[in-house]
Amino acid sequence: MPTKLQWTPKDTPANLRPMLRTLAEAVPLTEGAGRGLPLRFVPAEEAGLCEVTRDKCGAVIRYSSPAQAGRAIGALLAGLPEGPRGSIRESTRFSSLGIMLDCSRNAVMTPEHLRTWFRRLALLGYNKVMLYTEDTYRLPGEPYFGIRRGAYSKAE
């Protein structure tokens, strides 16, 4: 498995580019040619499809949604499919895969730590995250709301 995956904007659908740039903040995924295993993305009509095929030219990712493309990248980073030539294929009947993170108990997760979670979940094919917050945000004119609990600002 190469240490890096690479993609080029001209060969990548526009709706995947923001996700790829965000993932590149934390995983060995580079934008541009010549620095890793080349990725090619092919949208698929089949709902729930995530397929990765490796060949001598790189890896082809067939996907039905951006979440499935993220899952395929996660599979490649995990060393799947094994060997220089091979393929894996998954199909799910779910259109939504999500998690609720508790941001009200004990210490409140920082925005940067939440971004780490979001990137990891994207590599697993998640497309929904909900934050459970009771009183861990600030309200104008209510200085005691969430006192001593940690709180997210409006900007965060």
Question: What pLDDT, in 10s, does the model give residues 86-132?
Answer: 999 999 999 999 999 998 877 788 899 999 999 999 999 999 999 99
pTM: 0.88
State both tokens at 43: 């949208």
Q: What does the alpha-carbon distance between residue 92 and residue 3 come to, in Å, rounded to a whole number?
A: 29
21 membership: H or E segment, kind and range: helix 17-23
> Quick one: 45 exposed, middle or buried, by C-beta within 10 A (0-12, 13-18, 19+)?
exposed
Contact 74, 125 (CB under 8 A): yes
Q: What does the alpha-carbon distance between residue 19 and residue 134 come to, in Å, rounded to a whole number?
A: 29
pLDDT in tens, 5-59: 999 999 899 999 999 999 999 999 999 987 799 999 999 999 999 999 998 889 9
pLDDT of residue 3: 66
